Amino acid sequence: MLKLRSNILPIILCICSLLMIANGLLIAQANAPIILSSSRATSLAEIWSKAPLPQNSYWGRMVLGFPGYVENYWSYFWVVWAICILACAVAIYRKPRRSRKLGSWIVAFSLLTMPIGGGFLIGATVAVITGFVAFEWPKPFNDTWMGGVLQAVTLRSKFFVKLTQNGSFIRAAVIVVIFTAILAGIGTSLYTLNLSKIYPVPSTLLNVNSLHGSYIANVTSTAGFDIGTFVTIGKRANWETRQIVSVGAGYLEFDVPLAYDHLATIDEVTAQQKTSFAASAANEILLKGRVFVDATAWIASIAYIAVAIIKWLVLTVFVYVIGVKITGRTTTFDTMLRVAAFAFVPEALMYFLPFVFSNEPMLSVGSSASLMLPISWPLLLYYASHLWGFAILTLGIEKALDVFQQRAVGIALFSGSLYWLTMNQMLYPILNAPGLGVRFTTESSLGVLGAISVLLLLAMLLGTFKKE
């Protein structure tokens, strides 16, 4: 088995490297990223004539390569890292024992090819997986960390039996949660950042000091501010919320006097729950394939790790309380921790969010034509990752609690519904968690609660609370 795997690793790496080189050379030839779109367009009006209102016809694009990082021969610089992967493949073929030393380098080199599309995304993805496997050489594939992840997402029963019986998997579970959080955090943070560029929040600086007791704030611009809009004035500690009652030439009048002094050219007035539309940013992102990146996106990605750990603990608590304390089954809390961790692996799909952008309603609003659920690009990945995670959680519960599949589905439905309500309607708003959020109007909230009530009743019918 080891000999077979040692021969397979360099072959896989060679294929990945060739895909990366081909991707890079195509970009170098065009001196621009590769943009794949549903139809050719040269102006925003052609693809989104009603912007920012939803368009009747769908238009979307995928970009392979980072604009601004591949022009003027820079693409050849990134191709060098693909050639390094090829060199690693040759080294592993000649001496398989080098796999362990070269595994981490393969992962790093693969990530460095992303500016040229990462071998049409497939090459870099497979190379990263191969690098993780190589790092644990000479373990059999199924005993490696990445092998365990792939067995979990492919719903292999034998893996979950081993997962529930072996307490040493807790380390792998922690790594799974952190690694998945990093990938999901990067994707959601970059997508929401670029979404905020298309739909910026109106903000303006004070051009004259505003003293406490004043009803007026003199600002550099009143664009985007309307009567009735709630705004935040100030920064850091001395910030306050007011409602606009009048908009004049260069000033905003509030309903309540200011409680603090605010300084010109330093303090800002920012609208709350209101956005405008930036056609220039939409043109850059949609037509030119640009993906805006700044420090806040990377900070939010790191913060997503803490959010992921909280999610992991909350889900585990619900599954443990319902599956063990209420139904009377026997297992340990750390066993449920290990099982719940792998249910989050499909959220890594969110990493691919910023590679695809479209017009509305697929951009963010969501379309529910002929469907009960709204559909958009972010929501498609959201639904797919959560349904996939539900299937993983169900199989894990079945093996951990030694129950029939029907009852495992019921326990997963009940605990998953309570987890989703707790996170999305309570903890996310309190924590102001980074990334994508699912928000409901007052009318739709009643429908959501009704749907969850149906799921809870279904869980009861499936024998969730049956005592044995």
In this prediction, residue 167 carries a pLDDT of 85
pTM: 0.85
Convert the pLDDT of each residue in 35-50 to its tens digit: 999 999 999 999 998 8
pLDDT of residue 436: 62
pLDDT > 70? residue 437: no
**CA gap 319, 416 in Å, rounded:** 8
The overall average pLDDT reported for the chain is 87
Checking if the pLDDT of 5 tops 70, the result is no
d(CA 4, CA 353): 36
Q: What is the pLDDT of residue 2?
A: 39
Summarised one tens digit per residue, pLDDT across range 367-389 is 665 456 778 899 999 999 999 99
Half-sphere exposure of 454 (CA within 13 A, CB side): 6
Q: Of 338, 300, 342, 279, nearest to 432 (Cα)?
A: 300
Residue 3, pLDDT score: 41
pLDDT bin (cut points 50, 70, 90) of residue 447 is low
The tens digit of pLDDT for each residue in 255-292 reads 889 988 888 888 888 887 667 888 999 999 999 999 99
Question: Which class for 443: exposed (0-12), middle (13-18), buried (19 or more C-beta within 10 A)?
Answer: exposed
Q: Are 256 and 231 in contact (CB under 8 A)?
A: no
Residue whose pair of structure tokens reads 């360099």 in the numeric block = 10
Identify the H or E element spanning 316. Answer: helix 295-320
Per residue in 89-102, pLDDT (tens digit) is 999 999 998 999 99
- Which is higher by pLDDT, 417 or 5? 417
What is the structure's pLDDT at 239?
81
Residue 233 has pLDDT above 80, yes or no: yes
- Find the range with the poorest average confidence among 324-333, 356-365, 448-457: 448-457
Q: How confident is the model at residue 237 (pLDDT cuts 50, 70, 90)?
A: low
% of the chain beyond a pLDDT of 70: 91
Upstream peptide bond of 378 is cis (omega within 30 degrees of 0): no
What are the tens digits of pLDDT across the range 69-78?
Answer: 898 889 999 9
Cα–Cα distances (Å) from 126 to 135, 142, 207, 405, in that order, read: 14, 16, 54, 32
Q: Is the pLDDT of residue 252 over 70?
A: yes
Tens digit of each residue's pLDDT (9 = 90 or more) over 117-174: 999 999 999 999 999 999 998 888 889 999 999 999 999 999 999 999 988 899 999 9
Residue % of the chain over a pLDDT of 90: 53
> In CATH, what class is 203-274?
mainly beta
Higher pLDDT, 398 or 301: 398
Question: How many C-beta atoms surround the C-beta of residue 368 within 10 A?
Answer: 12
Q: What integer is the mean pLDDT of 439-447?
A: 58
Extents of the domains making up the chain = 2-157, 203-274, 286-461
**Higher-pLDDT residue of 394, 429:** 394
Is pLDDT larger for residue 173 or for residue 468?
173
> So what's the pLDDT on residue 371?
52
User: What does residue 278 show for φ and ψ, rounded to 5 degrees?
Assistant: -105, 100
Q: Which pLDDT does position 305 carry in this prediction?
A: 92
Reported confidence tier of residue 313, pLDDT bands at 50, 70, 90 = very high
